[in-house]
């Protein structure tokens, strides 16, 4: 069992590794995971040992990661007897903490819902105890996926407001189709298994309001925007149409994770690697745009402008190669 959450001392709250990444990149908040203390999410463990009994992180600060981010035991980490997290192996002494890890790199903790409103993180000193995250304490409402069995869980299915978390679930478990069919995901009013909530870009006409994904063909850097071109085309009435999404530079300039976002895009333009784009919130639609060579002519393209950068990401995904 992997750590689903860790207790963050300064926030007096339990965070997922994706919350930690979001906080690291958030320029409106002073947070550096390397300076924070993370402890076992099991309250009994935390109450038994002092604040020096901490966990480590993997890929907490790396903008362009491939391997699944997670919390991990350090050689010095202790747990009480019977703690479900006790069996997690600490890296062997001498193994580079952030490099040569060999444990299974799948995301095991599937959030049951992506919350579209960002979670509020409140520092312990500025606001003691209550108020930080009311939503987490609400009873879980079973999602209404017809005929889909909810697998039993060691911990309650969680909600997240970090888009990268369900994306990692999908990417790292891509070869386990049954699992992706079984696990439900809710966003807004819509609930569907992970396997069908994530829709290949070439099939975007099937349904609106899903998470669309596809391999990137090219990223164009224009004066006012970036344009992401997808490799696959959409077929409509036996004709192929290109698909793209626009990212407004104005939107990026006011984004709270501006630096990290620009780094992600810059890497995507320069890396030459196979990259995939995931987005939620808009559905590209057929538009007629003027041809560059012959301005009197127009051609059709499926296009959309991304409205919320929190629900967009570009990343490597070796498990999706060829898809």
Longest dimension (CA), the chain: 75
Q: Is 90 in the site for Zn ion (CB under 5 A)?
A: no
Token reading at 197: 């909530």
Q: Is 85 in the site for Zn ion (CB under 5 A)?
A: yes
Q: Strand (E) positions, the chain?
A: 6-8, 13-15, 38-39, 55-58, 70-73, 113-114, 159-160, 184-187, 190-193, 198-200, 211-221, 225-230, 234-236, 239-248, 276-279, 285-290, 298-305, 312-315
What is the per-residue DSSP string for 10-51? Answer: TTTEEE-HHHHHHHHH-TTS---GGGS-EE-S-HHHHHHS-T
| Per-residue binder mask for Zn ion (CB under 5 A), 127-156, x = binder | ------------------------------
Number of residues that bind Zn ion (CB under 5 A): 6
Q: Is 11 in the site for Zn ion (CB under 5 A)?
A: no
Q: Is 268 in the site for Zn ion (CB under 5 A)?
A: no
Taking Cα atoms as reference points, which of 116, 187, 92, 184 lies closest to residue 146?
A: 184
Nearer to Zn ion, 66 or 83 (CB): 83
Q: Is 83 in the site for Zn ion (CB under 5 A)?
A: yes
Among positions 6, 11, 40, 301, the unique one binding Zn ion when judged by CB under 5 A? 40
Nearer to Zn ion, 156 or 321 (CB): 156
Q: How far is the CB of 8 from Zn ion (least distance, A)?
A: 15
Nearer to Zn ion, 48 or 205 (CB): 48
Q: Is 45 in the site for Zn ion (CB under 5 A)?
A: yes
Taking Cα atoms as reference points, which of 166, 200, 154 lies closest to residue 4?
A: 154
Q: How far is the CB of 59 from Zn ion (least distance, A)?
A: 21
Nearer to Zn ion, 55 or 169 (CB): 55
Q: How far is the CB of 74 from Zn ion (least distance, A)?
A: 13
Which 60-79 positions form the footprint of Zn ion (CB under 5 A)?
79
Q: Is 6 in the site for Zn ion (CB under 5 A)?
A: no
Q: How far is the CB of 207 from Zn ion (least distance, A)?
A: 42
Nearer to Zn ion, 24 or 77 (CB): 77
Residue 304 is classified by DSSP as: E
Contact, 279 vs 211, CB < 8 A?
yes
Nearer to Zn ion, 84 or 209 (CB): 84
SS3 110: coil
Q: How far is the CB of 40 from Zn ion (least distance, A)?
A: 3
Write out the H or E segment, with its range, that includes residue 305: strand 298-305
Question: ∠ CA 21-116-16 to the nearest 5 degrees?
Answer: 30
- Judged by the rule CB under 5 A, the positions of this chain that interact with Zn ion are 40, 42, 45, 79, 83, 85
């Amino acid at each position: 069992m992997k750590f689903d959450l860790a207790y963050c001392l300064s926030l007096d709250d339990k965070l997922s590794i994706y919350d930690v990444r979001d906080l690291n990149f958030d320029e409106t908040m002073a947070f550096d995971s390397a300076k924070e203390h993370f402890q076992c999410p099991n309250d009994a463990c935390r109450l038994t040992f002092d604040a020096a009994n901490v966990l480590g992180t993997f890929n907490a600060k790396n903008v362009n990661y491939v391997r699944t981010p997670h919390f991990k035991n350090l050689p010095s980490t202790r747990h009480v007897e019977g703690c479900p997290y006790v069996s997690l192996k600490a890296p062997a002494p001498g193994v580079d903490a952030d490099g040569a890890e060999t444990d299974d790199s799948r995301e095991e903790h599937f959030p049951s819902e992506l919350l579209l409103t960002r979670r509020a993180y409140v520092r312990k000193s500025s606001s003691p105890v209550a108020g930080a995250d009311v939503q987490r304490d609400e009873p879980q409402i079973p999602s209404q996926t017809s005929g889909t069995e909810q697998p039993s869980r060691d911990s309650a299915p969680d909600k997240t407001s970090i888009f990268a978390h369900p994306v990692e679930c999908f990417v790292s478990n891509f070869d386990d189709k049954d699992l992706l069919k079984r696990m439900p995901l809710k966003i807004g009013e819509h609930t569907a298994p992970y396997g069908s909530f994530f829709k290949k870009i070439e099939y975007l006409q099937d349904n609106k309001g899903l998470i669309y994904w596809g391999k990137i063909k090219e990223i164009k850097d224009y004066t006012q925007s970036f344009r992401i071109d997808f490799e696959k085309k959409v077929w409509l009435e036996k004709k192929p149409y290109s698909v793209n999404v626009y990212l407004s530079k104005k939107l990026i300039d006011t984004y709270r994770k501006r630096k990290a976002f620009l780094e992600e895009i810059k890497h995507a333009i320069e890396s030459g690697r196979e990259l995939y784009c995931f987005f939620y919130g808009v559905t590209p639609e057929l538009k007629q745009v003027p041809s560059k060579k012959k301005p009197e002519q127009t051609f059709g393209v499926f296009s959309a402008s991304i409205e919320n950068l929190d629900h967009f990401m570009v990343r490597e995904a070796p498990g999706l190669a060829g898809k």
